[in-house]
Amino acid sequence: MNSGIKQKNGKKNIRLIIKPSNSGRNKKPVPFWGNILTTLLIFLTLLSLYTLLSEGFIEKEKIPISQLARDIEAKQVTSIVVEGDMLSVTYITDEEKEVKKEEGTALSETLTNYGVSSEQLKDISISVESDTGFAFWFLTLAPILFPIALLFLFIWFMGRQVRGAGMQAFSFGQSKARLISPDDKRQRVMFKDVAGAKEAKEELAEIVDFLKNPKKFFDIGAQIPRGIILMGAPGTGKTLLARAVAGEAGVAFFSISGSEFVEMFVGVGASRVRDLFKIAKHTAPAIVFIDEIDAVGRVRGTGVGGGNDEREQTLNQILVEMDGFEQNEKVIVIAATNRPDVLDPALLRPGRFDRRVTIDLPDRKDREDILKIHSGKKPLAEDVNLSIVAERTPGFSGADLQSLMNEAAILAARENRKKVAQFDLVRSIEKVMLGPERRSHVLNQKEKEITAYHEAGHAVVASVLPYADPVHKISIISRGNAAGYTLKLPFEDKRFQSKKEFLDDIAVSLGGYVAERMIFGDLTTGSSNDLQVSSALARDMVTKYGMSDTIGPIALENQGGRSIFGKGIDVKEYSEEVGARIDKEIEQIMNEALKKAEDILNKHRVILDVVAKELIVIETIEREDFEKLLIANGITPKKKEEPKS
Ligand code: ADP
Ligand code: ZN
Ligand code: MG
C-alpha cells in the first residue's frame, strides 16, 4: 500500500499451537570451547604419532660388545657400520643388531682387547660414517625440536580460532564486498532472466546504455544518475535486477549489504565504504550494489541512546563518496531496500540516489513468466498448467515462486517420478504459504473438535460477509506452527484494499474465536494469532489509513522514524488524549466485528456444525466440497463476477 509496496493478497487464518510453558530457548553450544577441544584433539593425535615414529627408529636389538666379539670369532658377522659410538652390525642371516662401543677408542682396538684377531676382521667390511649426517642431526634434535614446533603450531592455531570468534583484527576496513566480474559467464544475469518488472527494466535500460556508451552522454553534457534506489517487498527481484544491469552492460558488479558495513568496531563501516569505492573506481565502469541500505541509511538524528554513531558515519561516508564522483566517473551506485519510508532524506537528494525504481509484487501474468523461468531445467509433465498455478498465488513474490517450483521438483523426485506434475505444484503452494504439513502432530479428540469448530467459524463468516475473500481450503492438519488453517484467496490481484474489506477481514479473523466461545463456552490460546493480526489491522485503519470516522484523515504514525531500532522505544507523534481516542476507536472496530461474527454464526449455526463435523472426519475440505455444503444449507457461494468495491 505505502510507497507502492503492496501487501500480500493471499490471506490465511491460522490457529497457532502455543504451549504457554514453552519459553526456554535452545542455547547454541559456545563455539569457543568446541574449538579448543578440536585443537587439543589434533595436538594429542600429533603427539602420539610422533612417539610412535621416534620409537620406530630404535627397533633394532641391542647386544653388548663382548657378544659382538664372540659372533665375529664364530664368523657370523658380514659388515659393521660405525656411526659415532654406535655400531650397526649385519649378520650372515641379514639380521641387524646395534652395539654401543666405548667412547673415544677405535673399533679395531676395542675388538682386539676382546680377543678378536686381525685375521678374523679381514672378512668383515667395516665402514665409518660421519656423525654430522642429516639423519644424525635430525635424530638428535628431533626429540627437542618436534615438541617445540608442535607448541608453536598449537599457539598459532589457537590464535586463529580466537580471531575467528570475533576479533577480526587483521581485516580492518577492507571492504567486504563481493565481486562478480563481467567475464564470469556462469554467474551472469541478463534482463531476460528477470520476468515481469517491465517499468523497472525500462528505467534501468537507460543505465545500461550509459555504461555501454558513456561518450554519447558526455558529449551532449548530460548528467548521469549516480545512484538508483530499487524499492520493493522482499524477494521481488531487486538483487536480481541490479545484477542484470551489470550483466547487460558487461561491467563489474560489487555487492555488499548494508548490515555488513556496521560491525563490532566503530569506524569500520566508513573505512569499508572508502575501500569499496576506491576499488570500484579503479575497476570502472562498475556497479556498486548496496543491499538493505536501510540498515545504514535510516533517518538520522532520531537519536535515542546515541548508539547510531557508527551508522551515521557510514552513511556520511557513502554520501561523501557519491558527491566526490567526478563528472566522468563511470561508477553507478544501486541500492535496494524494502523500507523506503525510513530512509534519510539526505540520501534522496539530487546527485545522490535521485532515481527511484519501484518493483511491485508480480501480477498474474508475471507470476506465470517467473514460474516459466524457474521451470527452466525441470522437466514438466503434460498436465502442468502454470497459468492456473499463477492464478492461485496472488501475493507471492518471485522468490516465493522460485521456492514453489523447487518444492514441487523435490516432491516429484521423492516419489521417484521423472517429471514435475501439476499436482506437485498445487501441493507446493500451500507448503510455501504455511510451511510443511506436520501429520505427525496428532491432535487428541478434544483438540480436534475445538480446532474444527474454530476453522469452520472462520470459513462460515468468510462465506457470508460480502467483502471477504472466498474460502479456498479448510484444514485441521498441522502445518508449520499452525494447528489448522483456513485459506482464502481473492479472485484477482488487488492493488488496494478498502475499509469495507478490512472490516470484513477483521470479522473473519474473529470467527474462530467466536465459534470456540459459542460451542465450548471456553477459549484456548489458539486464537492468539488471529487476535494479534486483527488488532494490528484495526490500529492501522485508525492511525495510518484515516479510516476512522471520529479521528479522521490523519496519518498519525508513519512506519519509519518511530524508533531507530525498529522496535523498542516508540516516539509517538500524538498526545495522550489522542492516544486514548485511538484506543477507543480500535476497541469499537473490534467490538463491531465481534458482533458481526457472532450474529452470523448464531444465524448459521447449522452450517457451522456441518462443516466442523465434516472436518473432524476428513480433516481437509477443498473449495468445491465446501461450496456444495454451503449450497445445501442455503448460502450462495461467491462468484467471480460479483461486484467488489
Ligand atoms: P530481493 O533482492 O528483492 O529480496 P532477490 O533478487 O534476491 O530479491 O530474489 C530472490 C530470488 O527470487 C532470485 O534469485 C530469483 O531466483 C527469484 N526472483 C525474484 N524475482 C524474480 C523475477 N522477476 N524473475 C525471475 N526470478 C525472480
Ligand atoms: Zn484462527
Ligand atoms: Mg536482495
The ligand minimizing its distance to the Cα of 16 is: 2
User: Residue 399 is part of which domain span?
Assistant: 364-434
More confidently predicted of 282 and 639? 282
pLDDT at residue 458 in the model: 95
Q: Is 240 in the pocket of ligand 1 (CB under 6 A)?
A: yes
Q: What is the CATH number of the domain that holds 292?
A: 3.40.50.300
Note the pLDDT tens digit of each residue in 518-543: 999 988 888 888 999 999 999 989 88
Q: Which of 199, 240, 368 to mutate to test the pocket of ligand 1 (most atoms within 8 A of CB)?
A: 240
Q: Which of 228, 402, 406 to mutate to test the pocket of ligand 1 (most atoms within 8 A of CB)?
A: 402
Q: Is 370 in the pocket of ligand 1 (CB under 6 A)?
A: yes
> 405, 434, 463 — which closes off a domain?
434
If pLDDT is split at 50, 70 and 90, which confidence band does 55 have? Answer: low
Q: Which of 354-358, 449-453, 571-575 has the lowest mean pLDDT?
A: 571-575
Is 24 part of any domain? no
Q: What is the CATH number of the domain that holds 91?
A: 3.30.720.210
Q: What is the CATH number of the domain that holds 400?
A: 1.10.8.60
Q: Which of 75-79, 106-110, 386-390 has the lowest mean pLDDT?
A: 106-110
Q: Is 235 in the pocket of ligand 1 (CB under 6 A)?
A: yes
pLDDT at residue 602 in the model: 95
Contact status, residue 203 vs residue 357, Cβ threshold 8 Å:
yes
Is 539 part of any domain? yes
Atom of ligand 1 nearest to the CA of 240: 6
Q: Is 303 in the pocket of ligand 1 (CB under 6 A)?
A: no
More confidently predicted of 481 and 629? 629
The ligand minimizing its distance to the Cα of 257 is: 3
Is 489 part of any domain? yes
pLDDT at residue 307 in the model: 52
Please determine, for residue 345, whether its predicted confidence score (pLDDT) is greater than 60. yes
pLDDT at residue 256 in the model: 85
Residues 196 and 309 in one domain: yes
Closest CA to ligand 1's atom 1: 235
Number of domains in the chain: 5
φ and ψ at residue 273, rounded to 5 degrees? -60, -45
Closest CA to ligand 1's atom 11: 399
> 359, 384, 399 — which closes off a domain?
359
Q: How high is the mean pLDDT of the chain?
A: 79
Atom of ligand 1 nearest to the CA of 362: 23
Contact status, residue 198 vs residue 359, Cβ threshold 8 Å:
no
Please report the DSSP string for 200-239 in residue order.
HHHHHHHHHHHHH-HHHHHHTTPPPP-EEEEEESTTSSHH
**Sheet-wide strand order for 286-291:** 178-180, 252-257, 286-291, 331-337, 227-232, 355-359
The ligand minimizing its distance to the Cα of 237 is: 1
Is 166 part of any domain? yes
Is 20 part of any domain? no
Please determine, for residue 454, whether its predicted confidence score (pLDDT) is greater than 80. yes
Quote the ligand 2 centre to 338 CA distance (angstroms): 29
Atom of ligand 1 nearest to the CA of 243: 6
Q: How far is the CA of 33 from the CAs of 25, 27, 36, 44, 164, in angstroms?
A: 20, 14, 5, 16, 13
Q: Highest-confidence range of 232-241, 333-342, 440-449, by mean pLDDT? A: 232-241
Quote the ligand 1 centre to 389 CA distance (angstroms): 18
Atom of ligand 1 nearest to the CA of 236: 3
Q: Which of 104-113, 392-401, 408-417 has the lowest mean pLDDT?
A: 104-113
Note the pLDDT tens digit of each residue in 206-217: 889 888 888 888
Closest CA to ligand 1's atom 14: 240
Beta bridge partners of 254: 179, 288
Q: Which long-range contacts (CB under 8 A, 24 or more apart) does 273-279 make?
A: 273/175, 273/314, 273/317, 273/318, 273/321, 274/173, 274/317, 274/321, 275/173, 275/174, 275/175, 276/175, 276/177, 277/321, 277/331, 279/175, 279/177, 279/254
Residues 545 and 581 in one domain: yes
Residues 84 and 199 in one domain: no
More confidently predicted of 277 and 599? 599
Closest CA to ligand 1's atom 4: 235
Q: Which amino acid is at 113?
A: N
Q: Is 207 in the pocket of ligand 1 (CB under 6 A)?
A: no
Quote the ligand 3 centre to 361 CA distance (angstroms): 14
Is 196 part of any domain? yes
What would the grid cell of residue 56 be? 620406530
Q: Which residues neighbour ligand 3 (ion) by CB within 5 Å? A: 239
Residues 196 and 267 in one domain: yes
Residues 217 and 339 in one domain: yes
Please determine, for residue 1, whether its predicted confidence score (pLDDT) is greater than 60. no
Residues 530 and 586 in one domain: yes
Residues 504 and 611 in one domain: yes
Q: Is 236 in the pocket of ligand 1 (CB under 6 A)?
A: yes
Residues 336 and 262 in one domain: yes
Q: Is 187 in the pocket of ligand 1 (CB under 6 A)?
A: no
Atom of ligand 1 nearest to the CA of 196: 23
Average pLDDT over residues 499-504: 93
Q: Highest-confidence range of 155-164, 182-191, 304-313, 497-506, by mean pLDDT? A: 497-506
Atom of ligand 1 nearest to the CA of 194: 24
Closest CA to ligand 1's atom 9: 237
Please determine, for residue 159, whether its predicted confidence score (pLDDT) is greater than 90. no
Atom of ligand 1 nearest to the CA of 336: 2
If pLDDT is split at 50, 70 and 90, which confidence band does 175 have? Answer: low
Q: Highest-confidence range of 91-95, 144-148, 192-196, 576-580, by mean pLDDT? A: 192-196
If pLDDT is split at 50, 70 and 90, which confidence band does 49 have? Answer: confident
Q: Is 239 in the pocket of ligand 1 (CB under 6 A)?
A: yes
The ligand minimizing its distance to the Cα of 452 is: 2
Residues 466 and 558 in one domain: yes
Give percent above pLDDT 70 in the chain. 81
Is 114 part of any domain? yes
Q: Is 201 in the pocket of ligand 1 (CB under 6 A)?
A: no
Q: Is 402 in the pocket of ligand 1 (CB under 6 A)?
A: yes
More confidently predicted of 477 and 300? 477
Residues 313 and 380 in one domain: no
Is 627 part of any domain? yes
pLDDT at residue 221 in the model: 80
Average pLDDT over residues 220-225: 78
Catalytic, out of 203, 407, 455, 516: 455
Q: Is 478 in the pocket of ligand 1 (CB under 6 A)?
A: no
Residues 379 and 511 in one domain: no
Note the pLDDT tens digit of each residue in 127-153: 877 655 666 677 778 778 888 888 888
The ligand minimizing its distance to the Cα of 338 is: 1
What would the grid cell of residue 37 be? 577441544
> 377, 410, 434 — which closes off a domain?
434
Geometric angle at alpha carbon 385, from 384 and 386, rounded to 5°: 110
Residues 253 and 392 in one domain: no
Average pLDDT over residues 255-267: 71
Predicted TM-score (pTM) above 0.95: no
Q: Is 455 among the catalytic positions?
A: yes
Q: Is 568 left (phi over 0), alpha (psi -120 to 50) or beta?
A: left
CA distance 638 to 465: 10
Please determine, for residue 564, whether its predicted confidence score (pLDDT) is greater than 70. no
Q: Is 398 in the pocket of ligand 1 (CB under 6 A)?
A: yes
pLDDT at residue 370 in the model: 94
**For the chain, percent helix, then strand, then coil, each to nearest 5?**
50, 15, 35
pLDDT at residue 505 in the model: 93
